[in-house]
Structure 1
Amino acid sequence: MTSYVIWNNKGGIGKTMLSFLLSTEYALQYPDKNIVVVDMCPQANVSQVLLGGSDNVKNYQEIIKSKKTVADYIINRIEKTPYQKAGNEALYYVNPSEYNSQIPSNIFLIPGSSKLEILNQSIDTYATALSVGEVQNWKAVYNWLNDLKDGIINTIGENTVFFIDTNPSFANYTKMAILSANRLIIPCFADVGSLLAIQNLMYFLYDIKSDSIAVNMRNDFVKNIKEYNMSLPLIYMLIVGRSTMYNEKAAAAFKFVEENIEKTINDYKKQNNGTVFVNSNFKIVQKLRDLNSVAPLINVKGELLSNMKGGQPTDLYTDSGTQMRIPTNIKDFQQAVKDIVHNL
């Protein structure tokens, strides 16, 4: 079973959009597989997009009322069985194609919820409670999402691939999401903030320090991973997005930072290949241009990228009243997503 977690310690870099694009394209390329999208972000944006976008928010509201979200599962564990499987894991997923006809029928969704933020402290409380007997509380709690995934696999079948969307913070529910995956995809933009966030990520997950990280800080998360013999995902790919270039000076600045990011991640891989990074032959840094150019249509309508045609008018308008059109170079963007998925 392969599980991809999409995470970086920086907001606004397209984690949710990337989760949607990769999972839906993967489902189209591999119709014989079950694709499960796990929404571990309190904003639950990828859930809303899969269910039809903001134009069909009633679909997500229906899911909330049915108590089928990942937060409802965590509440169930807290209230009933904190340190052993609940046995009702198969209740907490939906098939988005029943709400949004564009979504492939082999995609399943464990919906997200704003309750995750409320539950964050409770997760830590139960994890750090004094263990009794052979039960290891910290390990049991941070395996809640693994337990949920196992229950769903038992229902839909072993031929399943997971894509896990996350919150940029290193919250307890984010740690749970990361510990449920075996491959990490890092999204970023060609900016200095993304470079710093990558350095933070290397410290948070792998205790690899850079000049910007204080050397005397103890990494309790990594300490617990080792103590409880748990596994972290290996870095599989870094996907660099970039908004539209406005002038040559801006383009040169973006290129300089982008090259610095690529050099940094490749240096990390040379030093930690096979331990922190997946030992792969393809280019670890992939580029996805103009990630935000298709975002409005996807966010509002839950539109599938493969269904878009360049130059086609939409029923969306800018603030100034101009009708929005699908970019004329959409085929290039579609092919870029296909190429990335081909390497997964």
Structure 2
Amino acid sequence: MLTYAFWNNKGGTGKTSLAFQTICRYADRNPSKRILAVDVCPQANLSELFLGGLTNSGSKNLLERQGLIPRCSVGGYFQLRLPSPFTAPDFSVQDFLTKPAEYNPTIPQNVDLFCGDPLLELQANAINTLANTQIPGTDTWIEIIDWIKDALDQVRDEYDVVFIDANPSFSIYTQIALSTTNRLVLPVMADDSSRRAIQNAFSLIYGLKLPSDIYSKYAFVTKLEQAERSLPQVHVVAKNRITQYMGPASAYAAVLRSIEQDVSILINSNPKIFTFSQVNKGIVEIRDFQTTGVVAFARGCPFYRLASGKLDIGGHRVQIQELYKTDCIKAIDALVDML
């Protein structure tokens, strides 16, 4: 079972929208594979998209799932783990999963969903405290960090690929998500804050360029390596929301070239943290989805299932042009081709 995570510790890079379209398209192109989407984000936007989006009761459907007993979400599963944090209780992860196609017919039948939950923010302090508890003979941090791994181990033979949408932070629940990840998809945008964010991402996960040795002892990489666990490898850097105005002489293009240069340097100095050996093999450009994206996400609809022409969105008539929609599908296909 291969696990991908979409993550950047900077918000606004289009991570969730990119994850949604990628997961749906991957599932559509691989109908014989079983896919599990895991939403480890308190905003739960990915879950709302899968369950119908803004105009098709995605939020209402998510609240319905969270209102069940047990609470059908990642937060519900973590709630089960809190009273027995270091020893997994008897549970079935299937009790916490959702079939999104039952709520949203545009979603492929071979996708299941582990819903996100705002409870994660409330749980974070308790989880952090438990992870730092001192118990002789027990690595409490690892026991906590394995919570999602424990759940996925139950269904390892039932799914071929897991896609995780992780919160744009490095909080404890994000670390729990990334610790079980094999491959990382890093979305970036054409602004200098994205460049700094990707540098921060390499520091947070791989301990690169830490400001002082004092942080090394507590670093994510140090704790995982001490437990003989593997780190996720960067598999794709997605240049997201590229526009037709971003010519080679533009300031935006210069920032994106700088990001490529940073990644190229890291490939040479730390090749083990990448799945690719040349920067051009691991970078994909994703055009700005513009109106097509707004409509698709309002409806919780994959691009390839979105009708062209005039559509109603919240009482407004919006035009979806076939050419633009085709370009959006091609952009997502370019990323899916790399998975």
Does TM-score exceed 0.5, indicating one fold? yes
Distance in 1 between the 2:207 and 2:285 partners?
27
CA contact (8 A) 1:89 1:148 kept: yes
1:152 corresponding residue in structure 2: 155
- Percent identity between the two aligned chains: 32
Moved more, 321-330 or 99-108: 321-330
- 2:62 corresponding residue in structure 1: 60
Partner of 1:190: 190
Instruction: Indicate the residue corresponding to 2:131 in structure 1.
Output: 127
Q: Is the 8 A contact 1:185 1:238 kept in 2?
A: yes
- Contact kept? 1:77, 1:86, Cα under 8 Å: no
Structure-1 residue corresponding to 2:96: 92
Change (3 A) 1:222 1:153: closer
Q: 2:328 aligns with which of 315, 329, 333?
A: 333
Matched with 1:136 is 139
* 3-state SS of 1:329 partner: helix
Q: Distance in 2 between matches of 1:81 and 1:271?
A: 38
TM-score by length of 1: 0.90
In the alignment, is the contact (CA less than 8 A) between 1:93 and 1:110 conserved in 2?
Answer: yes
Residue 307 and residue 88 in structure 1: after superposition, are their counterparts in 2 closer, same or farther (change >3 A)?
A: closer
TM-score by length of 2: 0.91
Q: Deviations over 1:278-300 (max 9, x none)?
A: 14677211000114443322322
Give the Å deviation of 1:271. 2.0
Matched letter for residue 170 of structure 1: F
Structure 1 unpaired stretches of 5+: none
CA contact (8 A) 2:17 2:46 kept: yes
**Is the contact made by 1:83 and 1:141 (CA closer than 8 Å) also made in structure 2?**
no
Q: Is the 8 A contact 1:83 1:137 kept in 2?
A: no
Q: What is the deviation of 1:307?
A: 1.7
What pairs up with 1:307-318 in 2 under 5 angstroms?
307-310=305-308, 312-316=309-313
CA RMSD in angstroms comes to: 2.1
Structure 1 residue 99: Cα displacement:
0.4
Q: After alignment, is 115-124 or 78-87 more displaced?
A: 78-87
Structure 1 equivalent of residue 268 of structure 2: 270
Distance in 1 (CA, whole Å) between partners of 2:149 and 2:89 is 10
Q: Could you say what secondary structure the match of 1:18 adopts?
A: helix
Q: Which residue in 2 is equivalent to 1:298?
A: 296
CA distance change for structure 1 residues 177 and 294 in 2, over 3 Å: closer, same or farther?
A: farther
Whole-angstrom distance in 1 between the partners of 2:330 and 2:107: 19
CA distances 1:71-127 after superposition (whole Å, capped 9, x unpaired): 110110112453235432221101100000110000000000000011111111111
Match of 1:171 in 2: 171
- Secondary structure of 2:312's aligned partner: strand
In structure 2, runs of 5+ residues without a counterpart are: none
Aligned partners of 1:184 and 1:236 also within 8 Å: yes
